[in-house]
Amino acid sequence: MAQSDQLHDPAPARAKHPRSLITSLVIGALLFLGLTLLFEGLFRWTRVDQVFSWRSLGIYHGQFEVKWFALKDYARQNGGVDVLLLGNSMVNTGIDPDVLAAEYESLTGESLRVFNFGVEGLTVAPNSVIARILNAKYHPGTIIFITEMRDYAATNGLEIEEQLLSDEWMIARQGGEETARAWLRANSSLLQQLLPFRNWSRADFPDTFLMQARRFADTSLSGYEADASIGENIDIPPDPADPDEKEDFKLFANFSIDPGRLANLKDILEFSNDGTPVIITELPVHPSYFTYFGGTQAHDRYLKTLIPFIEEQGGVFLPAPDWQGIPLFARADHHHLNNIGAILYSRMLAGKLANLCLNEGTCLRPTVGVEVSP
């Protein structure tokens, strides 16, 4: 009986189950890793990003991602970038780099690669960080920062700034710890193609997905996003009693330049000391825009502080063209230009930059190097 019981004892069979489970898990993990590496290799070898340009880093600011990948593609296709345009949404829709480059070449004979890295909602504070990252990566010959009064209001844009700069990918680009997840987001072509779908379960996913896809499609190879809208009542000053305007009036009432924001501007201007000239300028906004800040007198006082500061730091300030040179039908609102205004202003800016070069010897310079790795 003892021998019979031993032959039919189920214990040896049960002992094999954990080993079989471990083996299955190991095989599954190896298959997953193998397939991941296979698809990663295929994505890199076939340059799938040239077909599906929409990629993501998994960070908060979708338009920053558009510009990041567009600049990466632009530098790879053109062998670098000579001039970087930085600023907010006014720059994004207000300057066509191709028009600017063509006009500048016609006036000076210098052919330059110009890219528009204007990102909506970003003040001088996050732009100073972005400038440092882009300067280290692409080594442009010249940086042009298009600034405005909102850049220097202490409480403006804080939420966007915090969400963008606190992202682990962005922290790593600033010299912080490079986590495994941040490294994969920066270097995996497969992951960058998958990350646009990361919020698929959210109710607003279809709308945000389509909007981001449209922005990728609408942004030119040189980073310009045209706006075809035509503003209404642009020449009528905003009304403080209008519920839609109250927030802006509250934000910019008693406007003064925040010292911390001037320090951010100084960070950008310091590139001049390292051999990368920095030019600061403004767009020709409609005077009604200054109503939020206390009128055109407030803008005049602002410039009396800003211009000497720029010059003391070794930068160059280029005054905005006459706002009357931009007709109302060329404006999307009192501070954004539409696609018609962008052409007009890009030519005006090129003319001012050419005069600066031909008359004062301060010329836009070609790049001193390029880095187009992931």
Give me the CATH number covering residue 78. 3.40.50.1110
Please check whether residues 205 and 263 belong to one and the same domain: yes
- pLDDT over 90 percentage in the chain: 68
Question: Within a domain: residue 368?
Answer: no
Q: How far apart are CA 227 and CA 230, in angstroms?
A: 9
- Report which secondary-structure segment, H or E, holds 316: strand 316-318
Count structural domains, the chain.
2
User: pLDDT higher for 53 or 128?
Assistant: 128
Across the chain, mean pLDDT equals: 88
Instruction: Kindly state whether residues 171 and 295 are assigned to the same domain.
Output: yes
- Residue 178 resides in a domain: yes
Mark whether 163 and 56 lie in a shared domain: yes
User: Worst-scoring range by mean pLDDT, 161-175, 176-190, 250-264?
Assistant: 176-190
For the packed helices 124-138 and 158-165, what is the interaxial angle rounded to 10 degrees? 30
Given a contact cutoff of 8 angstroms between Cβ atoms, the answer to whether 219 and 66 are in contact is: yes
Measure the CA angle with vertex 223, ends 84 and 216; round to 5°: 150
Would you put residue 369 in left (φ > 0), alpha (ψ -120 to 50) or beta?
Answer: left
Give the least confident one: 54-63, 65-74, 153-162, 259-268: 54-63
Are 27 and 139 found together in one domain? no
Same domain flag for 36 and 98? no
**pLDDT score, position 335:** 97
Does 226 share its domain with 160? Answer: yes
**C-alpha separations of 184 from 41, 194, 304 in Å:** 14, 12, 47
**Same domain? 98 vs 31:** no
Residue 200 within any structural domain of the chain: yes
Mean of pLDDT values over 204-223: 89
Of all helices (H) and strands (E), which one includes residue 344? helix 339-360
